[in-house]
Structure 1
């Protein structure tokens, strides 16, 4: 007998796709667009108090004295704590990642003896109003002795002054590996191309800032915590593990959330402090972050250098790749992802990208600095890794006199399954088809002709290409494939009601990605009913379905898999009873368009609603030994790692007088396996690419030499707006996964993963007459103007700026 995959059912019938693949309108939108959403700032509890934080105004200092007596005596103040008050309950949050060379750090809930970055919480105040709390914060009496601020990651990695005493050499991460004969590839190379690429420090800048409400009931020892987190179950675990609240009496509630993008996939000191404060004062407490706090204290992202080199043979094939990533980790490891989340992911997750390279070597480091800790942000690590690989691919194409399409086609993996140098297996993909589709979409010969004509007029346009492959549907298998030991799984509950409608509960929280709609589509097709008859509840409470977190493009894959498995259990119950009612074999019953029908017999059918009613209320309709429950809970964790792929081509024009990068058009190709809902996929692509444009041209969290952050409002921190958003042309390829429900793969991060490389390549293509290549983000007007003013030199493209 054939051995079944642990996630397959025996004799699972084919499911007719009536909803999956169609442009179902988002069910969430009418409520949200008409102002009927309930976000955490909208929630007010009886008798609630308000919380504000005193945050460090200096980057690095030793606290010599702190006196909160004036705060405690202020009108309306119920409580004020410093680090010493909190340490009795929790010494801090340990941050680390189970990868080679990661050194743990402990991040205090409130700073103790030292402050390590501007914005680190030093004291917390609870008062009758937010106004009273913030006014009281001004009354703090404290003295500190400033210490050297470590701001430059290169200097930090080299030794220098210590940024965090827990890391005496400033290295929170240091490791590497080699696969294949890399030395031979470079020793025998006909040509070597190399470069150092910089991705600047940015903020995820979600539309809604962070927020927490805590309510502790002393009589029952029950804690209810509202948080707009992406990981409610992990937060619940941390509350019980670090603070000692009884797990069975803790509920984390996730209201509507206005964007997360990874920033809300961490556990922050504020989330841990508010339960302690609520227990101490015996009243609910509420904290809503303002935008300045968000830019200063919310996790930062992406800042790192990636040094990369390709060994090329005489035919232009890549025979080896060397990559080194150095990340600026900030002051502490931010749990659960740590400083490793950027440099480790950048070089380890896809060291060769889409290219058939036989040998790869990488090293990774994360340096502690006196900046806000770095954490996850959409496309984490993949963006910087893809940025370096794809920009170097364009450098190589120029060096070889090839088009960017031809160089990629010359080196792309052609046959699947394919095993990369690390031993990671890619079961399927449309990597070459992506290149071909993009070239056809942009009409490359016509573009070259237009580019030449415009150059004669003193106008400079450029086309940038970037292709990616992304592990998606973050799972235990994906973790193990990359040498980690993290365990992921999610559950979903599906209930078919007596009138044939269905309720679905999933364990993932929604941040605007349309989970309620796509999960309804998955359930409707499995149950054979209309999508309008399915109601989906995302993870509003940890008392319901379990989830490992809305991270890593997991939603469609993992939640969808759990929904499909649970719905399949219910489906089989319906088929059994329908077969009994129609006097047919269960294997002959199909559920489609609201009917349970006998295959091949046109007039032998009964409505699924009638079958459901019979299961609830009619004993005579049940077959022998039938168990009548129409509710099922199932878990899902993909048994193998899966990979999405795609690419972007971006057309830009450089304004010669201002240096501004004007975006003319974006071409995107996406292969996320079976597309559940094209509208939602295309929305994710548009949003992700525009975030990539922001990270490439507009956004940078800047610091001065003393460690002061200079970008603390949206007047200083530039975000892309719709006036810079160009038209999109999107093409879908579908290479279904061989082992996920309906062949679905994840795609939520793909837009941001590949867009910055396409932007830089487009700008460098436009700059090619000037003989200068840029390699650092952001591409500010000053940098572009400087590049355009540099005379063409014999060094050509290797003259990096």
Structure 2
């Protein structure tokens, strides 16, 4: 595995843990709970105008006529543009990649000749109010020639019709690799288990939809843009590169944000259009997405088929893994992640999971369809890959007559460091311990007794397991190790004030993760002051910190690492001046609770506030050659790929009359290294698992054969609510990372990565008396009832019947 070298001055500081590891209350919550937060819809600028979009009502068509004259003549309308008006300023958003087999596309800001999905923007209207803008949109005069709509990934590969003329064979990416003797593994296998798993199309559905406000000043040629984006610095660069604004003249401001989950980690046409509109009109312009728009035009997620096979020896050990992922990417590559992110991550990032398989073969294909583009969503790719691996593990255990715990224990990697077939080194982990701890938490023998007794009463309980490995803290090293040459840049700035308090600025934006709290804990412990004396400012592009985006569980690892390094520079200066004041060596100074002490001398000390004041105002306190700045900016990017791990067990009961799945309890084991704040970690687990329950049972974006999206409101698109959220029992394992300050690893995506597999395994466990196995999400009551009614027992090879999405039986 390639090692990314760091600059020699980037020394990881020693953190004297005082608040790290404790349940510090979130500093963000008082203003949120009291209604004092300021979300983008709350921001109103003098003279602002409002924006609405005319969106395509058809999935695929050639534009033959588009006339906006009636729109422009409408009362209250200031401007109406079509794609022809926008094209001179920007041809669109290109997405390219150095990955072999990648075919680029360019997404227009407004469609010009052809529309490729329902919801694609055709025109934009600016008016004195949102009401006036939406009313004017109804007056558009346009006509089109309908083209065949491609709505299925298998059909896209078969090339019955072309979804996007930029991808003449509908393929946006095709690739794969083989490691080890995979042919020999399957030829010599004592048993092969295999299956095709389907993860449906879903929306991240953040509580707050997308929004943009643009304000351009002609005198200074400066642009201020408010956006609830997860990637403010990328947005700043894209505006500069594709719209011609000077990057130094563009300020991106991220206000309080009500959830992102990856959907806001893209650059959208709307964000690029509003700066052009503000400059054209010399007025601030504002667009707040409604829920229907969000479900139609916000990036979709997940939809893919994963075919997977395990070659097993006579002892039930996995000797080979074959995986193919086919991702339905929608109409365009969505910048910056593209349609490849789902199938590529599903196969490449952790092809063996926790299992010590010596041979691996994987292939991946991303195809275009006439649907909304697919992008990032919490646990992107990992969820589908984990679903296939973990559900096939349960299938294998059943085929072998083995406990699902025992099958995993027989195959798990138990000794570290371990090098997987790809050559990637896993330096630490608690994979075997996770199995043991989870089995004790569940009390598996007691569950089996209860399950058997319940079946005699006509009740069907099921227990599902799912174990995961997560590439932790998206970094340059992690990216390069997996074959993607992405480079990440992140910094943080720490300033110690004359009173001994500190200001921290990080390059990542926050959407509810508790970053202000955890970063304050990291800074406080490094500086030796109280966490209440630290304030944290998250991303704003003109502040003294840069970030590659709030994605990939990067907050604690990357921002925390940069904060600790910057605070470490300040700590050294405080120690130097304290030593001079106390007539001691800097090596003998320790800082605890805001006081600098001489080790072993209890009555010799000076407060950090006095030291800071001396640095600012008293030159006589400085040692010779001292540089008095108490502000430091440092970068952080781990030198090696890191991985966190964990597991979930979910207990369900199926209602035999309705087919509904009742969630009784969730057991979770999490190893994210040092736990900075248990409250926040446990909140992330609970939220992620409930999202996984939603993706498993309630949520699905449904298209008809013509490409019409049928689920455009929350009346049609089901979300999990608190009445279905089960109680949790959570255990923390702490395998410290050798490469991060305080030993932290990322964990923000772990709940959603693994929960759907646990749900599917639990439902299949409950259905086992019927001899059926479900392999497609969501697990609707109709599917469950069809499975219970249509079970035909075990097939001759030992493979159970698989009930497909339409309820028909098929070979597993």
Name the TM-score, length of structure 1 as normaliser: 0.99
- Partner Cα separation in structure 2 for residue 611 and residue 283 of structure 1: 49
- Which residue pairs with 1:778 in the alignment? 778
2:158 aligns with 158
Aligned to 1:39: 39
Q: CA deviation at 1:96?
A: 3.3
Question: Contact between 2:208 and 2:258, CA under 8 Å: does it hold in 1?
Answer: yes
Q: Name the residue aligned to 1:349.
A: 349
Could you say which residue in structure 1 is the equivalent of 2:417? 417
Indicate the residue corresponding to 1:186 in structure 2: 186
Residue 609 (structure 1) shift: 1.1
1:225 paired residue number: 225
The equivalent of 2:806 in structure 1 is none
CA distance in 1: counterparts of 2:110 and 2:239, whole angstroms: 16
2:615 counterpart residue number: 615
**2:10 and 2:421 mapped to 1: Cα distance?**
36
Instruction: Please list every run of 5 or more consecutive structure 2 residues that lacks an aligned counterpart in the other structure.
Output: 804-812
Partner residue, 1:491: 491
* 1:749-788 paired onto structure 2 within 5 Å: 749-788=749-788
Task: Determine whether 1:18 maps to 2:18.
Answer: yes
d(CA) in 1 for partners of 2:206, 2:79: 30
SS in 1 for 2:196: strand
Q: Deviations over 1:70-107 (max 9, x none)?
A: 00100011100001111111111112343221100011
Residue 510 (1) aligns with residue 510 (2): yes
For 1:731, the equivalent position in structure 2 comes to 731
> Relative to structure 1, is the Cα distance of residues 728 and 485 closer, same or farther in structure 2, using a 3 angstrom cutoff?
same
| CA distance in structure 2 between the partners assigned to 1:203 and 1:540 by the alignment | 27
Which shifted more, 593-602 or 760-769? 593-602
Shift of 1:545: 1.2
Q: Which aligned pairs between 1:205-604 and structure 2 lie closer than 5 A?
A: 205-604=205-604
- Extract unaligned runs of 5+ from structure 1: none
CA distance in 2, matches of 1:236, 1:791: 56
Number of aligned pairs? Answer: 799
Which deviations, in whole Å up to 9, do the C-alpha atoms of 1:398-424 show, x marking residues without a partner? 001110000000000011010100011
Deviations for 1:453-503, whole angstroms, at most 9, x for unmatched residues? 000000000000000000011111111111111111211111111111111
Q: Deviations over 1:667-716 (max 9, x none)?
A: 00000001000000000000000000000000000000111000000000
SS at match of 1:46: coil
Asked if the contact 1:82–1:123 (Cα under 8 Å) also holds between the matched residues in 2, the reply is: yes
Residue 766 of structure 1: CA displacement? Answer: 0.2
Computed over aligned residues only, the root mean square deviation of the Cα atoms, in angstroms, reads: 1.2
Cα distance change, pair 141–320 in 1 and its aligned pair in 2 (3 A): same
Residue 145 of structure 1 aligns with which residue? 145
Distance 2:699 2:263 in 1: 16
CA contact (8 A) 1:63 1:114 kept: yes
Over 3 Å counting, the alpha-carbon distance change for 1:787 and 1:12 in structure 2 is: closer
| Deviation for aligned residue 1:791 | 3.8
Which residue of structure 2 aligns with residue 48 of structure 1? 48
- In structure 2, the residue matched to 1:130 is 130
The 10-residue stretch of structure 1 (597-606 or 308-317) with the greater mean CA deviation from structure 2:
597-606
CA deviations over 1:104-147 (Å, ceiling 9, x no partner):
00110000100000000000000111011000000000110111
Contact kept in structure 2, 1:97 and 1:337, CA below 8 Å: no
Which moved further from structure 2: 741-750 or 783-792?
A: 783-792
The corresponding residue for 1:799 is 801
For the 8 Å contact 1:251–1:543, the answer to whether it is kept is no
1:662 aligns to 2:667 (yes or no): no
2:681 alignment partner in structure 1: 681
Q: Hey, what does 2:203 align to over in structure 1?
A: 203
1:705-744 equivalence runs, <5 A: 705-744=705-744
Query: Given that residues 507 and 545 in structure 1 are in contact (C-alpha distance below 8 angstroms), is that contact kept between their aligned partners in structure 2?
Result: yes
Q: Could you tell me how far apart the structure 2 residues matched to 1:714 and 1:728 are?
A: 27
Distance in 1, matches of 2:323 and 2:507, equals 37
Kindly tell me: are residues 249 and 695 of structure 1, through their superposed partners in 2, closer, same or farther at Cα, counting changes over 3 Å?
Answer: same
TM-score by length of 2: 0.97
**Alignment partner of 1:144: what SS?**
strand
Match of 1:701 in 2: 701
Query: In 1, are the aligned partners of 2:194 and 2:308 still within 8 Å (CA)?
Result: yes
Helix, strand or coil: the match of 1:773?
Answer: strand
> By how many angstroms is 1:794 displaced?
3.2
Asked whether the 8 Å contact 2:792–2:801 carries over to 1, the reply is no
Pairwise CA distance, 1:790: 2.1
Instruction: Output the CA distance in 2 between the equivalents of 1:486 and 1:10.
Output: 21
> Deviation of residue 11 (structure 1)?
8.5
- What CA distance in whole angstroms lies between the structure 1 residues aligned with 2:395 and 2:794? 16
